[in-house]
């Protein structure tokens, strides 16, 4: 991904949105033109030693490494990396790892992989813009001491219950803590005791001293630091106090020279504190100016999908799915295994756009993007997924011997002759779809029923003569006669007109494969809406495994290879279980319109 394009060639074809408007206005006004960047994150003194920042804007994608990324994160990734790309900026990948308890290296690695897979990177000008918020713990501590010294923060030793009670609510102002009037010296000494492990977990917090009567509850002396003895994945046991997210995040942005800090709407009420904190730390000379600003957009809600890492983790931990990469999961690893492409997900994110109004996006929007991407790319193949045997009873009569095989071929892709041809053959016994035959045809049924003719796609016209059944009355074979001289691609092909064409695979050269047919994981469009327990609306039929018969060209399919199975939809060779000699395919999604009768 190129970061070097000039701001003036921001592509005009991108749909306008309010964030682009803000960025274009800032670029025009030169709001951030004076910034310096010393090549790495740091405080005002550090950045002052740098060159004018080569990045016109800086954005960041700041996941907490406490789970796998999902489709909602993809929206944020495409947005942040996309804006940086389009405006000559740089987007940082930052692990927001200030919470020691839930974070793990496994998740860090998975997130790096997922962002790369989606098609983005954080390399620019020879620098890897991948950062860990925990690397800023020293600075955050120093900033806290500076706030204390300036009389802007205090150590509160009320119990959590007392703090809750004195915070007030929407209609009642809060009341001051008895610890609020401590002197900066007392606060500094006490804060150092917190840091040095002299106080038990939860015994005290550092709070900003703002306004307990503020109409915005987030400004009623929010907590900045808490005591928590926990081993951190990056800093180990170096700290027993940890910064609160609301304190850490603005500082992380400022240290990294972020210009536009884009987050979801639930942080809108935090923006006044974001501004308060950074203004104070700039005034104290600790952070470089101009400082970052926060902008909020509506998170992605996708029907039939859950986008909460905590809930997705529950699905995994309680074995409702096979893992984070279960093809039914909306995680990027799950979508990847299911067969969704990075291009389709990017297209989806572009199409849904960004706004400030919460809404639900229909899942079909993602499938439309997938089809738009794969239609031109995926090779075609025939597959029979609910097989019944077709017996061509006049085979030896027509071809001289029962062992004759009639060679057939089809283009790998109807619009792309350069992809060449697939080869397969017709024999006296072939697999067809069970529902392509009806002993007594319903009205408008044009496929196989006694007396009717259909074309075997890429093969011959056949005429149905009846069927064989077992003692239970179940059809075990469909009987038909081949109509000579009607082979597709020969002069006789049009001699016999038929209304139906069906797909097939020769019994002699069929590749038996495990085919996993997936459906939505939940039966309700908004599985966790209005506090519902999403486990109560799990779809019990979200996965069905069948043995399908595939045309022989699929024997060389490699994991992740995607195909359009004619009439059925898009399928991918499973990246985990598919192996030579043991083919396993996942259904990605069906075709836009069902097979015409």
Looking at beta carbons, which residue is closest to ligand ATP?
72
- Residues near Mg ion, by CB under 5 A: 64
Kindly name the residue from 309, 337, 481, 516 that is annotated as catalytic: 309
> Residue 444, by phi and psi: left (phi above 0), alpha (psi -120 to 50) or beta?
left
**Residue 176 structure tokens:** 């001051």
Q: What CA–CA distance (Å, rounded) separates 143 from 496?
A: 85
Torsional class of 280: left (φ above 0), alpha (ψ -120 to 50), beta (otherwise): alpha
Stretch that binds ligand ATP, among 14-22, 57-65, 214-222, 331-339 (CB under 6 A): 57-65
Selected binder of ligand ATP within 46, 299, 377, 380 (CB under 6 A): 299
Q: Minimum Å distance from CB 313 to Mg ion?
A: 13
What beta strand segments (E) does 268-420 contain? 293-297, 301-302, 360-361, 379-381, 383-384, 387-392, 406-411
Residues 419-438 that bind ligand ATP (CB under 6 A): none
528 binds ligand ATP (CB under 6 A): no
d(CA 247, CA 144): 9
Q: Are 560 and 575 in contact (CB under 8 A)?
A: yes
Using the minimum distance from each CB to ligand ATP, give the nearer residue, 188 or 298.
Answer: 298
Q: Does 354 bind ligand ATP (CB under 6 A)?
A: no
> What is the C-alpha separation between 140 and 96, in angstroms, rounded?
13
**Closest approach of Cβ 98 to ligand ATP, in Å?**
11
Pair of tokens at residue 30: 């030169």
3-state secondary structure at position 12? coil
Say whether residue 72 binds ligand ATP (CB under 6 A).
yes
Q: Which of 210, 241, 255, 263 binds ligand ATP (CB under 6 A)?
A: 263
- DSSP codes joined into one string, 67-91: S--BHHHHHHHHHHHHHHHHTT-EE
Q: Which does 299 bind (CB under 5 to 8 A by kind): Mg ion, ligand ATP, none?
A: ligand ATP
- Residue 459 interacts, among ligand ATP, Mg ion, none and using kind-specific CB cut-offs from 5 to 8 Å, with none
Write down the least CB distance from residue 234 to ligand ATP, Å: 16
Beta bridge partners of 571: 563, 587
Rounded CA-CA distance 18/296 in Å is: 10
Q: Is 331 in the site for ligand ATP (CB under 6 A)?
A: no
Nearer to ligand ATP, 149 or 361 (CB): 361
501 binds, among ligand ATP, Mg ion, none (CB under 5 to 8 A by kind): none
Q: Which does 63 bind (CB under 5 to 8 A by kind): ligand ATP, Mg ion, none?
A: ligand ATP
Find tokens 């802007």 and name the residue: 152
Q: Is 82 in the site for ligand ATP (CB under 6 A)?
A: no
Cα(53)–Cα(573) distance, integer angstroms: 45
CA angle 497, 500, 504 (to 5 degrees): 115
Choose from Mg ion, ligand ATP, none: what does 72 bind? Cβ within 5-8 Å by kind. ligand ATP
State the DSSP H helix or E strand holding residue 271, giving kind and residue range, or none if neither.
helix 271-283
- The pair of structure tokens assigned to 585 is 């395919």
DSSP line for 212-248: TT-SSGGGSS-EEEEE----BTTTBTS-SEEE-HHHH
CB of 252 to ligand ATP, least distance (A): 12
Distance, CA of 249 to CA of 99 (rounded, Å): 12
Residue located via tokens 């050269």: 509
User: Considering the complex, what minimum distance in angstroms separates the CB of residue 63 from Mg ion?
Assistant: 8
Q: Please name the residue that has the structure tokens 């209005």.
A: 530
Q: Which does 453 bind (CB under 5 to 8 A by kind): ligand ATP, Mg ion, none?
A: none
Q: Is 211 in the site for ligand ATP (CB under 6 A)?
A: no
* Closest distance of CB 95 from ligand ATP, Å: 9
Q: How many residues bind ligand ATP (CB under 6 A)?
A: 15
Out of 102, 167, 180, 299, the active site residue is 299
Only segment of 62-70, 142-150, 383-391, 544-552 that touches ligand ATP (CB under 6 A): 62-70
Asked whether 570 and 374 are in contact (CB, 8 A), the reply is yes
Does position 64 interact with ligand ATP (CB under 6 A)? The reply is yes
For position 264 contacting ligand ATP by CB under 6 A, the verdict is yes
Q: Among residues 105 and 308, whose Cβ is nearest to Mg ion?
A: 308
| Active-site annotation holds for 299 | yes
Active-site position among 20, 36, 64, 145 = 64
Active site residue 309: yes
Tokens of 145: 């001491």
Transcribe 437-457 into DSSP letters.
B-SSPPTT--SB-TT-EEEET
Cβ distance 280 to 339 under 8 Å?
Answer: no
Q: Does 94 bind ligand ATP (CB under 6 A)?
A: no
Residue number, 64 or 514, with CB nearest to Mg ion: 64
**Residue 322 binds which entry of ligand ATP, Mg ion, none, CB below 5-8 Å type-dependent:** none
Cα-Cα-Cα-Cα dihedral sign, residues 101, 102, 108, 109: positive
Q: In whole angstroms, how close is the CB of 271 to ligand ATP at the nearest point? A: 14
* β-strand partners of 130: 93
CB closer to ligand ATP, 155 vs 345 = 345
Q: Is 134 in the site for ligand ATP (CB under 6 A)?
A: no
Work out how close the CB of 347 gets to ligand ATP at its nearest, in angstroms, rounded to a whole number. Answer: 17
The CB-of-307 to ligand ATP minimum distance in angstroms stands at: 4
Residue numbers of the site for ligand ATP (CB under 6 A)? Answer: 62-64, 72-73, 75-76, 96, 263-264, 299-300, 307-309
Question: Which residues are designated catalytic?
Answer: 64, 299, 309
């Amino acid at each position: 991904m190129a970061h070097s394009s000039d701001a003036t060639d921001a592509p005009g074809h991108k749909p306008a949105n309010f964030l682009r408007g803000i960025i274009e206005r800032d670029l025009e006004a030169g709001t951030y033109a004076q910034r310096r960047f010393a090549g790495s994150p740091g405080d005002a003194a550090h950045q002052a030693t740098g060159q004018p920042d080569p990045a016109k804007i800086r954005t960041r994608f700041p996941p907490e490494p406490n789970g796998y990324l999902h489709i909602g994160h993809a929206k944020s990734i495409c947005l942040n990396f996309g804006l940086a790309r389009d405006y000559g900026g740089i987007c940082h990948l930052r692990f927001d790892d200030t919470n020691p308890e839930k974070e793990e290296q496994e998740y860090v690695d998975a997130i790096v992989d997922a962002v790369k897979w989606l098609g983005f990177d954080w390399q620019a000008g020879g620098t890897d813009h991948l950062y860990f918020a925990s690397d800023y713990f020293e600075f955050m501590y120093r900033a806290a001491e500076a706030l204390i010294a300036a009389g802007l923060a205090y150590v509160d030793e009320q119990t959590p219950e007392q703090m809750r009670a004195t915070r007030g609510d929407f209609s009642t102002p809060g009341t001051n803590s008895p610890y609020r009037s401590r002197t900066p010296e007392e606060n500094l000494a006490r804060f150092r005791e917190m840091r040095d492990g002299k106080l038990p977990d939860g015994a005290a917090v550092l709070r900003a001293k703002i306004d307990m009567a503020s109409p915005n509850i987030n400004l009623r002396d929010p907590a900045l630091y808490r005591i928590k003895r926990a081993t951190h994945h990056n800093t180990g046991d170096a700290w027993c106090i940890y910064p609160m997210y609301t304190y850490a995040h603005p500082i992380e942005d400022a240290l990294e020279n972020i210009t536009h800090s884009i987050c979801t709407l639930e942080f809108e009420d935090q923006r006044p504190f974001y501004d308060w904190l950074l203004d104070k730390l700039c005034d104290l000379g600790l952070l470089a100016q101009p400082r970052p600003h926060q902008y909020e957009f509506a998170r992605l809600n996708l029907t039939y999908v859950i986008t909460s890492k905590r809930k997705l983790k529950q699905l995994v931990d309680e074995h409702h799915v096979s893992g984070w990469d279960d093809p039914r999961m909306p995680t990027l690893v799950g979508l990847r295994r299911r067969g969704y492409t990075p291009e389709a997900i990017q297209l989806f994110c572009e199409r849904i756009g960004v706004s400030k109004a919460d809404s639900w996006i229909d899942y079909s929007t993602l499938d439309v993007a997938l089809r738009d991407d794969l239609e031109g790319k995926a090779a075609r193949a025939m597959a029979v997924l609910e097989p019944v045997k077709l017996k061509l009873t006049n085979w030896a009569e027509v071809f001289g011997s029962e062992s004759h095989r009639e060679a057939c071929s089809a283009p790998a892709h109807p619009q792309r002759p350069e992809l060449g041809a697939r080869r397969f053959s017709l024999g006296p016994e072939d697999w067809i779809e069970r529902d392509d035959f009806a002993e007594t045809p319903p009205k408008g049924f044009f496929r196989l029923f006694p007396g009717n003719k259909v074309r075997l796609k890429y093969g011959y016209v056949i005429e149905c003569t009846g069927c064989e059944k077992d003692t239970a009355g179940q059809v075990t074979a469909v009987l038909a006669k081949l109509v000579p001289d009607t082979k597709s691609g020969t002069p006789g092909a049009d001699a016999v007109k038929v209304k139906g064409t069906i797909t097939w695979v020769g019994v002699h050269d069929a590749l038996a494969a495990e085919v996993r047919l997936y459906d939505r994981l939940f039966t309700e469009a908004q599985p966790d809406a209005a506090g519902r327990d999403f486990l109560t609306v799990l779809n019990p039929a979200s996965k069905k495994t069948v043995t399908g018969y595939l045309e022989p060209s699929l024997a060389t399919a490699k994991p992740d290879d995607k195909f359009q199975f004619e009439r059925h939809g898009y399928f991918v060779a499973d990246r985990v279980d598919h192996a030579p000699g043991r083919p396993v395919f996942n259904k990605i999604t069906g075709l836009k319109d069902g097979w015409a009768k």
